[in-house]
Amino acid sequence: MLPITLYEYRPSRSARCRWTLLEAGLPFTSVDEGPSLVGSDRLEPFHPLKKVPAAEIDGQPLFESAAICTAFADLVPDQNLVGPSGSRERALHDQWVSFTLSEMECWIWNTDMNTRVLPQEKRISAHLKQNAALFRRGARVMDQVLGESDYLVGNRFSVTDIIASFTVQWGQSQGLIDRFENLQAYLERLSQREFSTLQSVGNL
């Protein structure tokens, strides 16, 4: 087994990486020093913006939660958490990860930044309504797909669901999935899993 260290702060996107490691059954060392870790020099060798999550896999740094989760899944091909490179399943994984981050998560992240994260004097509220509408536009697409299938790829649980459900839960915490019954059922289904970290979302 390769040595793995996860730099994490529980109520953050690092919850995706922890969940993946637990599903994969990969042993790892956790560095969690609470909020003081975020932005600290300790993270500099692993993340150029000193953000969490960050990982060190066999002595090599890796950042971006979706990339880290996918790398962990690739380490355990027998667990079927992600399709192999070149497969239809892998292409769908890449599709849904990109969709989740660029058509859904960016809008709610902007809302959080401008309502909670940034200091008052730096907040801009002009886009909040638009953020909600654009998130719902993406969420509607995912809701329709989940009306036909319990999971996003190949109708079985995969790392894609770990990455996407975090964003859906985040949207729920902003009151944005009330109209989407399939997304609500998806969260319910995934939160039943033994290693689910979905309860960490909501206080990013």
Nearest to 63, CA basis, from 97, 17, 106, 98:
17
Helix (H, G, I), strand (E, B) or coil at 23: helix
- Residue pointed to by tokens 């979905």: 198
Q: Kindly state whether residue 132 participates in binding ligand GSH, applying the rule CB under 6 A.
A: no
Question: Least separation, in Å, of the C-beta of 23 and ligand GSH?
Answer: 18
Which residue has the CB atom at the shortest distance from ligand GSH?
51
The reply on whether position 200 binds ligand GSH by CB under 6 A is no
Does the footprint of ligand GSH cover residue 53 (CB under 6 A)? yes
Member of 13, 18, 93, 136 binding ligand GSH (CB under 6 A): 13
Residue 173 CB, nearest distance to ligand GSH (Å)? 13
Q: Could you give the CA distance from residue 12 to residue 105 in angstroms, rounded to a whole number? A: 13
Nearest-approach distance from CB 51 to ligand GSH, in angstroms? 3
Q: Which two tokens stand for residue 167?
A: 């964003």
Strand partners, 62: 55
The DSSP call for residue 41 is G
Contacts of 11 (CB under 8 A, 6+ apart): 200, 201, 202, 203, 204
CB nearer to ligand GSH: pick between 53 and 138: 53
CA–CA distance, 35 with 193 (Å, rounded to integer): 27
Nearest distance from residue 64's CB to ligand GSH, in Å?
A: 5
Q: How far is the CB of 181 from ligand GSH (least distance, A)?
A: 27
If one asks whether residue 21 binds ligand GSH (CB under 6 A), the answer comes out as: no
Q: Is 38 in the site for ligand GSH (CB under 6 A)?
A: yes
Nearer to ligand GSH, 145 or 204 (CB): 204
Q: What is the DSSP string of 68-134?
A: HHHHHHHH-GGG-SSPPTTSHHHHHHHHHHHHIIIIIIHHHHHHHIIIIIS-GGG---TTHHHHHHH
Size of the site for ligand GSH (CB under 6 A): 10
Interface with ligand GSH (CB under 6 A), residue from 5, 30, 32, 64: 64
Cβ at position 38, least distance to ligand GSH in Å: 5
Helix and strand totals (H; E) in the chain: 7, 4
Q: Among residues 31, 62, 65, 164, which is the contact residue for ligand GSH, using CB under 6 A? A: 65
Task: Summarize as ranges the residues that interact with ligand GSH (CB under 6 A).
Answer: 12-13, 38-39, 51-53, 64-65, 204
